[in-house]
Structure 1
């Protein structure tokens, strides 16, 4: 502050330092602003708690003000526990997205009972095992259990790769619903609660049916063969050739192959004790299958053999569609190298019924029965 300014301030009867202090003191009400912020936070927190509590977005809380659970999100890991606990089924499907198009109503007609489809997008073996354990812990007496098998069950690192980037809510799968609430105080839960409110106001439809079924592929009328072919093959060319010299593993090498997920499957089948168990290697396109004669194919063959032994121990069927056949070699049957078209799903269900009745193999080689209950 210059001497001239200081003199002017003194001339006005003000001490410069005190003047600045008063301006700082009276220019902004910090304590009042802090109280407003705290009050806003408290009101928002209470509103969050009330919204989540009232609408129960995951259907996992020990109360419901809106009736049966409505699935309003497509992360099935967070939504299926509520469907399991509602117990409106006596048969279930477990698997990955390659099993999601198995329509419960068509399965009802083929096998009897009332099916719930619990297949998960990119479902890891451990996640599927957790669903089976939940079904068992809820006391379900299953008429039919269908497990759609994919490469995840033969993954030698399945114990390390238990979940995906989608996360897995262990807290939803235990027996205590009261410990779930703290995990639900977040924006995602509020978003789903909002969708659920919109559903009850008649403004939108459920994301997935109460039986776990959703046609997640595009309408079949929009199928574009060239686009599908590009998705199936990518830059790999439009054919698969067998290895020029088939890989032959030694007995010692095969014994060293470990498939951790098969221990979980063995335990789950023993605990569930379903009246009928159908294990199914699902029909992915040959572009997603190992090259014939390769070392990867040898590992998969060994895994299938061990699952066949497991199936026999549990008096279960094992039906293999994961093979080179008229189904899996035709590009026009698929949207990409994993997902078949909707009419194919109906054919798979019909083929499962035929396989259980006749055993053996399909006349066109589409499926082979690798194991069946004793006496069949």
Structure 2
């Protein structure tokens, strides 16, 4: 009889132990979820809280929240070619209040979604600055995101149930909500400045030796001639599809917004690689496709800086063959504000002819001397 009572007692202890354990787990998870939601380091629910400092460093986790909850009337949204822009310069030049939401390696769908989020959340966006990198027009699936990046889709959609992936995310809780955000009771700025967000440029980086190191010269031949190769029959349709599926609907639906769009100036070393592969004609054709698709819209200000030859041919302006340093970003903003290097229906054909002559006849040998 005593053994039976002992067994019943042990069962009760086990049951209460299980209940207590479950209760503790529920309490811990509730605390983690509540704390993450309250601090909200990705701005999924609200803007930064007063007297807390929020570091900005994770583009695909934080940009969507910035677009939803920050105060602004202008937006920088583009590839890594926009990372060194300073919103303080944008504000001064264009008389606006801008945020920067760059996406390194972005496909055009990602940029379009970011712009759409700004409109969907009631922002009166009077100006958008964005890049038009040629590689984005080569994407076969116009609505795809770059597969090399991980996207926290639970932060992007409107499904509240999958927010658990955010609220109970160990890395977000420990690294962003606890270690990242901290008290600033003195009332100093509540986030990393948008001048500093995603900014990577330093004066001493890059240069000729660095750019040359990206090449493999063993099989390099200077005798390879530039040639007019035939373009794929469906290329223009593909480029048009990417634009029509992403950017152009936003331009048409929001005439109140001026879209400052620019084709970024990759370096002469990048053009050298293009020349060696025999695809200069293709590259210029990409520009023509972009230009002819976008120029008809009155609220588009379209720029290309490939005729800024002093910048393109100066290796000291670049970190690598494509990425230019902050001094170039500043000049680009100044030129856009002044209307320099702007493409129009009247001048774009001359522009294409000029850059074709320059890059087809450039003495690339001197890059390696």
TM-score by length of 2: 0.74
Aligned residues of 1:94 and 1:119 also touching (Cα < 8 A): yes
**Structure 2 vs 1, CA of residues 71 and 336 (structure 1 numbering), >3 Å: closer, same or farther?**
farther
Alpha-carbon distance in structure 2 between the residues aligned to 1:105 and 1:254: 39
Alpha-carbon distance in structure 2 between the residues aligned to 1:154 and 1:218: 27
Alpha-carbon distance, 1:193 to partner: 0.7
Alpha-carbon distance in structure 2 between the residues aligned to 1:73 and 1:90: 20
1:270 paired residue among 224, 239, 252: 252
Q: Secondary structure at the match of 1:246?
A: coil
1:308 paired residue among 291, 301, 315: 291
Alpha-carbon distance, 1:243 to partner: 5.1
Q: Which runs of 5+ in 2 are unaligned?
A: 356-369
Alpha-carbon distance, 1:170 to partner: 3.7
Alpha-carbon distance, 1:172 to partner: 3.2
**Structure 2 vs 1, CA of residues 39 and 139 (structure 1 numbering), >3 Å: closer, same or farther?**
closer
Matches within 5 A, 1:354-373: 354-356=338-340
Alpha-carbon distance in structure 1 between the residues aligned to 2:77 and 2:221: 30
1:102 paired residue among 85, 94, 105: 85
Alpha-carbon distance in structure 2 between the residues aligned to 1:333 and 1:100: 15
Aligned residues of 1:69 and 1:83 also touching (Cα < 8 A): no
**Structure 2 vs 1, CA of residues 269 and 153 (structure 1 numbering), >3 Å: closer, same or farther?**
farther
Alpha-carbon distance in structure 1 between the residues aligned to 2:201 and 2:261: 27
Q: Any idea what the Cα deviations from partners look like across 1:99-132, whole Å, max 9, x if unmatched?
A: 1111111122222222222221222211111001
Match of 2:321 in 1: 337
Paired residue total: 335
Alpha-carbon distance, 1:35 to partner: 5.4
Alpha-carbon distance, 1:246 to partner: 0.8
Matches within 5 A, 1:58-69: 58-61=42-45, 66-67=49-50
- CA RMSD, Structure 1 to Structure 2 (Å): 4.0
Q: Which runs of 5+ in 1 are unaligned?
A: 1-17, 369-376
TM-score by length of 1: 0.73
Aligned residues of 2:208 and 2:316 also touching (Cα < 8 A): no
Matches within 5 A, 1:1-376: 34=18, 37-61=21-45, 66-67=49-50, 71-159=54-142, 161-174=144-157, 176=158, 178-179=160-161, 181-184=163-166, 185-190=168-173, 191-200=175-184, 208-209=192-193, 211=194, 213-214=196-197, 216-220=199-203, 222-223=204-205, 225=207, 228-229=210-211, 233-236=214-217, 244-249=225-230, 252=233, 257-263=238-244, 264-289=246-271, 291-292=274-275, 296-315=279-298, 316-322=300-306, 325-356=309-340
**Structure 2 vs 1, CA of residues 292 and 355 (structure 1 numbering), >3 Å: closer, same or farther?**
farther
Alpha-carbon distance in structure 2 between the residues aligned to 1:256 and 1:358: 25
Max radius of gyration: which structure?
A: 1
Alpha-carbon distance in structure 1 between the residues aligned to 2:53 and 2:341: 37
